A = this chain, B = another copy of it.
Amino acid sequence: MPINNVKLGKNTKIFHETLVNIYGCELGDNVTVGPFIEIQKGVKIGNNVKVQSHSFICEGVTIEDDCFIGHSVIFINDKYPKSVNADGTKQSDGDWKVIPTLIKKGASLGSGSIIMCGITIGENSVIGAGAVVTKDVPANTVVAGVPARLIRNL
């Protein structure tokens, strides 16, 4: 099933229920979710968040109120992902440690940005389109580039 075991707040809209894969997570009030989205178990999304099309939000991610998640934004929860363990068996849940990521209130993540794990993005900060964010971003700043660097303060 494409939507499974999801706690949805008031007035929250998943626009295309047949075009998403969302499970085991919690979305606040007035959230909107576009098509071609995967949101995994354990994710918490606050109120008034927009999640645009084609984004992937993995286990370990928390997104506070009022954030904007652009199109094709990718989160990561494992620094060295592998398909198999050292003994040759396929990896499954429990074979790696989920590293958490926190997106603070009012942040705006530009389309095509990639957010490495273990990172906090500060309140109201703006991540430029296509940026690869490899370390914490202070509040009220704009970062962009690969890897993302400070462009200016807000």
The residue in chain B whose Cβ has the minimal distance to the Cβ of A117 is: B129
Copies of the polypeptide in the assembly: 3
CA gap between A130 and B10 in the complex, in Å? 36
A82 near B: Cβ within 8 Å?
yes
Label chain A's interface by main secondary structure: loop
Partner of A132, one of B32, B68, B129: B129
A112 near B: Cβ within 8 Å?
yes
Give the shortest distance, in Å, between A41 (CB) and chain B (any CB): 14
Partner of A72, one of B32, B74, B80, B82: B74
A34 near B: Cβ within 8 Å?
yes
A→B interface (CB under 8 Å): 2, 16, 18-19, 21, 30, 32, 34-36, 38, 48-50, 53-54, 56, 66-68, 70-72, 74, 76, 80-84, 88, 90-91, 106, 108, 110-112, 114, 116, 126, 129-130, 132, 145-146
